[in-house]
Chains A and B, each alone.
Chain A
C-alpha cells in the first residue's frame, strides 16, 4: 500500500511543482529527490503515520514515561499540516526545536539529532514534503500531565540537554566513518531507542547506544567494538540486517521493523556500510556474568523449550538463520533488560517483510498457552544456555509486562 502511495506521490510531482505556493522557483527534481533521501535516512514516515492510515499525516501516539505525545501531520495541507510553514520555520523546528509560534517542541521529535542535518538537506526535505499528497488530519491533543503539558517547561530541558549545531567531523577518522557517525547520530537518531534515558527523558551520554527501553521494548546494545552488543557481527552482517531485515544472527521486528521498512532498506549500500564501520568502532563495556539460575528452573525451562520452541529455534538454539532467529548469541536474548524476550514470548513477533525477504515469517503468541512462571522459566533457560549470559527472569517480571501490555491495548498497538 505504501509503495503504491509512493508511486502516486511521484506521479503528482510534476503538478505539485507548479501548484505548491510554498515552493521556490528553483525547486527541481534533483532537489526533491535529495529531500526524499533525507526523509529516508530520518525515517519520518515511521512516527508520522498512524497504523493503517495515510502516510505522513501523523496522529501516531508515542508512549513516553511522561504520557502520550501525538505526532503532527507533516503533509503540506494548509490547515492541519505544514502548508503555512516557511522554509525558515521548518529549519527552526528541525534545528532548534522551536515551532513557528515560538513554542518549544517536545524532544520526542528528535531534534537533538536532527539539529545535525545541514541547512541544504533540511531545505530539500521541506521541498520533498511539499510534494506529498495533502491530507487533512488534525493532530490529537497530547496526553501529558501539568507542568509537562505546558510547553514553556521545555525551555529548561532544552537549556540543560540540547545544543543545536552540526556534528563535528573527526579528522582522525575516515570519511566513511564520519558519514556513518553523521547518519547514526544525525538523521538516523539511533540513540532515540538504543540509549538509556535519564529522569528527564534525555540520553544518558555515558550509556550511548548501549541499549534502551521504549514503549515496553528493550532495544539492544548496538555498539560493535569489543564488549559491544554487536561485537560478534561483521560489517557485512550489519549491512545485510539494515538492507534485508534479517541476517545470520537475527531478524527485525516491532519498531526496528519500521526503521528497516521505511528507512534503511531504501538507503544506498555505501551509507549502510558507513553506519556499519562507525558502529564497529564503538567499544562496549564489560559485563559481569549473572549468577547461574536455579537448576530446577533451568530444567523446567528446557522442557518447555523443547515442546514449544525447538521446532523453529532448533534444539541447540541455533535457529534457522534468516528464517527463524537464532537464540544462541542473540543481542536481544542477552540484553540485561529482558523486556523484549518476555514480550516476544507473550505476543509473538513478525519478522519485517522487506524487498529482499517479502515473507513475513512470524512467531506465534504464547500468552494464552504459558503461565507467567512457565514463561519466566523458558526465558531464563534461553538466556542462560548455549553460551548466553542474559540471566534469570522472574515470574513477577512476566506478570508485570503482561499487565502493562493488556492496559496499553489500543487501536495503535
Chain B
C-alpha cells in the first residue's frame, strides 16, 4: 500500500533541462515544487570534476553516464513483421539518468528551428502539393514568432556563442541568413575555430554557400547568466558529448540553474525515486498526483495540483502509456495518439584526410564548428526531389577521444598492423564533414508497449518500431552529395564518404534526438498535448520534451525543447494559475 505524502502544488517527473527550467520558473510564483528523479544527485565537483571527467572507458564505453539498461531499456524492431528484442547496451542514442538528465552529456549545439519547420504540413502542402502516402507530418500548433522570446531566454541562460544571421529582419554577413528573425544577438561570440573549420569555410564559399559558426553552449569566454550563475571559458578538451564538463564550460542544469534553484525554500528534489504512474481521479480527467517508488521498493502517493512530465521523450511517452492516459497508437487502424509519430534524425558524412596538414582535432569542443544551412528545411526548392525537409551540413571538431576516434582511409583493413599504421598516420591529419538531417513522421514508425519484455519492476518495456522512410532516404542521399561537394574542396588527399544506407541500425551511435510519442498539435484528434504542451485529456497535466515534436527538424533539438518549456511555463504562470483548466478549448 502506497504511503500518502503531504500534497505539493507542482510535481515534476524527471529533473533534467526541462525539469530545472520549470522548477525555476514556477517557484518564482511561490509555488511549492517537488521534482522526482529516478537517478541520483550529480554536480560538477562530486561527479565529473576535471580529475575524472575525461575517463573514456568509464563514462562512454561502460555507459556510466547513461540510463541503466539492466533496470529498464526498450525493445527494438525495424518493422511490424519482426519481433522486437531488448537493447541491452545503448548504441544509436544515449538516454541520460540522474540530475541534469541528458543535458549533462550533450554537446551544446543550440539551434533554433526554422519558421517553416513549425508549419511543416501546411507549408509543404501549399508549396509542393499532397504529402507522400503514409506520411503523418503535421503543424506544431505554435509558431516560430511565438517561440522567439523563449529561444532568446534559453540562449542567454546558456551563454550561447554564435553570430546572428537575421537580426530583427536584417540579414548579416557571417551568420546564418536562413534563420528566423532574432530579437537579439547571441550573448557570446562564436568559439575559436581550428584548421578544419577554416578549410570547410573556404570550400563552402567557393561553392557559393554562406558558412557560419555553429551556435555553441560551450563557453567562448567567461559568462555570467541572468540568474548570476557563472560559466567558465571552454578549454577545448573535446569531452562534451557523452561526458560531463569538469570545467563549468558547458551549459547544463548544473551550471545555469541549480546554484540558484537549490537554495529556494519552496523547491525540493527527491532523487533515486521512480514515478510509476500518474494518478487520476474517478473521472479520469484530472491528475491527483503521482505514485513513485524509492530504492527500497517503498511506494508513495504524492498528491499535487499540477503534474508535469519532464523526463526523456521515451520515458514520458511510456509513463503516459503505463498510466492509461489516452489511447496507444495502432498503426494498423490509425487509432490512438500516444506513441504516434516517433521520429529520429538522419545523419551522414565524409572523412577528409590530409597529407601534410595537421587538423589536431584533440583541440575540440562539442559545438565547435562551421555550418551551412542552404539545404535545411525549406531553404531550397524541393520540386522534383522526392522529399521534404533537409539538414544542416557542418564541420564540427567535437573531439579526438582515442578509443572512440580512429579514422582510416578507404581500403584500410579493420584490424592488425596495417590498421594501426593507418590510425597513427591519420589521427592528427583528418577531419569530418557531416549532414544532420530531419526525420519526417510516417504511420509505420511508432512506439508502444512490448508484449513480452518487462523492466526490473515487471512493467512492460517500451517497444520502438523504426526504419528510415522513403523521405529520409531521398533526403540523405541528396545531403550526402552536398557533403561530398564540400569535402572534396577542402584540400585533402582523399575523402571517405559514409552515406546512410540500409535499414536503421540501433547500435552505432547516431544522435540522441528521439522525438514524438506525445505530439503537440492543433486539436485533440491529432495530438496528445495542445500548443501549450497541456494534455487535452487531463488539463492539469503538462508534457515537456522532444516527445511533443510532431516530426523532427534538421537541427539538434535542445534549443527548441527548452524554448517550448519556457513557452509552456509562461502559459502556466500567466494563464493557467489564474484560471486552471484547458488553455485551448477543443
A interface with B by C-beta (< 8 Å): 1, 3-4, 7, 308, 311-312, 320, 322-324, 348, 350, 353, 356-366, 369
User: Whose C-beta in chain B lies nearest to the C-beta of A324?
Assistant: B232
CA A348 to CA B246, docked complex, whole Å: 13
28 inter-chain pairs at a CB distance below 8 angstroms, sorted by A residue, are A7-B265, A308-B50, A311-B247, A312-B50, A312-B232, A312-B235, A320-B233, A322-B230, A324-B232, A350-B45, A353-B259, A356-B228, A358-B229, A359-B248, A359-B259, A360-B45, A360-B259, A361-B230, A362-B49, A364-B45, A364-B49, A364-B51, A364-B52, A364-B246, A365-B49, A365-B51, A366-B51, A369-B51
B interface with A by C-beta (< 8 Å): 44-45, 49-52, 222, 227-230, 232-233, 235, 237, 246-248, 255, 259-260, 263, 265
- Whether A323 contacts B260 by the Cβ 8 Å rule is no
CB proximity of B247 to chain A, nearest CB, Å: 6
CB proximity of B380 to chain A, nearest CB, Å: 42
The residue in A7, A311, A312, A359 that gathers the most chain B C-beta atoms within 10 A of its C-beta is A359
Given A1-B265, A359-B259, A361-B232, A323-B51 contact (CB < 8 Å): no
CA A148 to CA B41, docked complex, whole Å: 45
CA A357 to CA B52, docked complex, whole Å: 25
CA A358 to CA B50, docked complex, whole Å: 21
CB proximity of B49 to chain A, nearest CB, Å: 3
**Residues in B neighbouring A360, C-beta threshold 8 A:** 45, 259
- Whether A323 contacts B45 by the Cβ 8 Å rule is no
CA A311 to CA B363, docked complex, whole Å: 13
CA A109 to CA B161, docked complex, whole Å: 51
User: Whose C-beta in chain A lies nearest to the C-beta of B228?
Assistant: A358
**Residues in A neighbouring B265, C-beta threshold 8 A:** 1, 3-4, 7
- Whether A323 contacts B263 by the Cβ 8 Å rule is no
User: Whose C-beta in chain A lies nearest to the C-beta of B233?
Assistant: A320
CA A7 to CA B52, docked complex, whole Å: 39
Given A311-B247, A353-B259, A358-B51 contact (CB < 8 Å): no
**Residues in A neighbouring B229, C-beta threshold 8 A:** 358-359
CB proximity of A239 to chain B, nearest CB, Å: 18
User: Whose C-beta in chain B lies nearest to the C-beta of A4?
Assistant: B265
- Whether A359 contacts B51 by the Cβ 8 Å rule is no
CA A320 to CA B49, docked complex, whole Å: 17
CB proximity of B60 to chain A, nearest CB, Å: 20
**Residues in B neighbouring A4, C-beta threshold 8 A:** 265
- Whether B45 contacts A362 by the Cβ 8 Å rule is yes
Given A357-B230, A364-B246, A320-B222 contact (CB < 8 Å): yes
The residue in A3, A323, A357, A363 that gathers the most chain B C-beta atoms within 10 A of its C-beta is A323
**B247: contacting residue among A308, A312, A357, A365, CB under 8 A:** A312
User: Whose C-beta in chain B lies nearest to the C-beta of A353?
Assistant: B259
Given A1-B265, A350-B45, A323-B248 contact (CB < 8 Å): yes
- Whether A357 contacts B50 by the Cβ 8 Å rule is no
User: Whose C-beta in chain B lies nearest to the C-beta of A246?
Assistant: B230
**Residues in A neighbouring B247, C-beta threshold 8 A:** 311-312
**Residues in B neighbouring A366, C-beta threshold 8 A:** 51
**Residues in A neighbouring B232, C-beta threshold 8 A:** 312, 320, 323-324, 361
Given A4-B265, A323-B222, A362-B51 contact (CB < 8 Å): no
**Residues in A neighbouring B50, C-beta threshold 8 A:** 308, 311-312, 364
**Residues in B neighbouring A7, C-beta threshold 8 A:** 265
User: Whose C-beta in chain A lies nearest to the C-beta of B236?
Assistant: A311
**Residues in A neighbouring B237, C-beta threshold 8 A:** 311
**Residues in A neighbouring B49, C-beta threshold 8 A:** 348, 362, 364-365
Given A358-B259, A359-B248, A348-B45 contact (CB < 8 Å): yes
